[in-house]
């Protein structure tokens, strides 16, 4: 039987200005994939040059121009995501956002999961456990307000599309779209979006608001947060992230003792208590586990 091929893909624009560890993200996945497609939007910084400078022959760059008038529920992110995915040629397509990484210790497990499920057409995607770092790389989210699992590997031979940058929907026989049928990848995605320098995080939030109609621009202050929603991180970070963590991430956080919880944070606290009592997971899911 021929080896199952995997394409990696992502999209990025103004990655340097907005503090994305996009080079580290790409490098972390390169050993696993047969190709890596990067849709690079026309930027105001040297994002394109930095992707080119990685210098790996697996990388294929598609230069794009974002439609800044497309301010409807993140659809411009979906558009850019799909430009990259539709250019992938592998049996499976692995999507990483510009602030996400995989750990070198789990690459073999990811490959094994793909090989194990490739012959079962009922499995359309693989779901990863998420580590959402918050404030500094020393804290990780435990709140159900942050999705704990998400699809990041999908069969590239099925009809799928992205309604925004985060997840996929699958259509079959021209029926209504549904969540992908998935299996657990037995591996993690390391998400560093909420530990970048605060001024870069604010610039990123300002950008996101332009593409989500009706959204208010959140003013970032990492200290104004529910301390019960995070826990100290006990593991190791991907080697690809070492320099970025040391030079580009926030290093210290002291949670504001006078901070008043939002209505959502109070709801999530209650959800966490119910989770401990029931063993259920109340976080949002964009997939259906079938294996």
pLDDT digits (tens, 9 = 90+) for 136-158: 999 999 999 999 999 999 999 99
**Structure confidence at residue 1 as a pLDDT band (50, 70, 90):** low
pLDDT digits (tens, 9 = 90+) for 261-284: 999 999 999 999 999 999 999 999
Report which secondary-structure segment, H or E, holds 138.
strand 136-141
**pLDDT (mean) for 176-198:** 95
**Nearest 5°: phi and psi at 160?**
-130, 155
**pLDDT (mean) for 42-61:** 98
- Percent of the chain predicted with pLDDT > 90: 84
Per-residue confidence (pLDDT) for residue 202, from 0 to 100: 86
Domains of the chain: residue spans and CATH: 1-291 (3.90.550)
- Percent of the chain predicted with pLDDT > 70: 96
Three-state DSSP at 84 gives helix
Per-residue confidence (pLDDT) for residue 219, from 0 to 100: 79
Per-residue confidence (pLDDT) for residue 154, from 0 to 100: 98
Six token digits for residue 98: 């510009």
Report which secondary-structure segment, H or E, holds 38.
strand 35-41
* Between residues 148 and 165, the one the model is more confident about: 148
20 within 8 A of 98, measured Cβ to Cβ: yes
Q: What's the DSSP call for residue 274?
A: H
The overall average pLDDT reported for the chain is 93
Cα 116 from chain centre: 23
**Structure confidence at residue 100 as a pLDDT band (50, 70, 90):** very high
pLDDT digits (tens, 9 = 90+) for 55-76: 999 999 999 999 888 766 578 8
The Cα 210–Cα 215 span in angstroms is 8
Kindly tell me the burial class for residue 253, based on how many C-beta atoms sit within 10 Å of its own C-beta (0-12, 13-18, 19 or more). Answer: middle
pLDDT digits (tens, 9 = 90+) for 235-264: 999 999 999 999 999 999 999 999 999 999
């Amino acid at each position: 039987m021929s080896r199952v091929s995997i394409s990696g893909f992502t999209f990025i624009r103004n990655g340097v200005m907005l503090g994305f560890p996009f080079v580290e993200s790409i490098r972390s996945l390169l050993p696993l994939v047969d190709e890596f497609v990067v849709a690079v939007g026309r930027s105001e910084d040297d994002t394109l040059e930095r992707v080119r400078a990685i210098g790996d022959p697996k990388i294929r760059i598609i230069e794009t121009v974002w439609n800044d008038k497309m301010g409807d529920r993140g659809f411009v992110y979906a558009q850019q995501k799909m430009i990259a995915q539709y250019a992938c040629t592998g049996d499976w397509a692995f999507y990483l956002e510009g602030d996400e990484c995989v750990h070198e210790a789990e690459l073999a497990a990811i490959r094994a999961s793909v090989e194990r499920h490739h012959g079962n057409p009922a499995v359309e995607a693989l779901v990863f456990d998420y580590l959402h770092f918050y404030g500094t790389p020393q804290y990780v989210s435990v709140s159900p307000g942050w999705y704990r699992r998400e699809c990041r590997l999908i069969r590239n031979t099925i009809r799928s599309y992205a309604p925004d940058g985060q997840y996929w929907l699958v259509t079959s026989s021209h029926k209504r779209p549904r969540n992908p049928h998935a299996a657990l990848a037995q591996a993690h995605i390391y998400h560093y979006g909420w530990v970048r320098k605060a001024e870069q995080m604010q610039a990123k939030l300002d950008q996101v608001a332009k593409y989500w109609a009706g959204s208010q621009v959140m003013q970032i202050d990492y200290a104004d947060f529910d301390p019960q929603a995070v826990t100290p991180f006990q593991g190791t970070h991907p080697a690809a992230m070492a320099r970025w963590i040391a030079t580009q991430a926030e290093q210290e956080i002291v949670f504001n003792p006078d901070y008043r919880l939002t209505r959502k944070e109070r709801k999530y606290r209650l959800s966490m208590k119910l989770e401990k009592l029931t063993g259920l997971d109340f976080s949002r899911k964009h997939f259906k586990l079938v294996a």
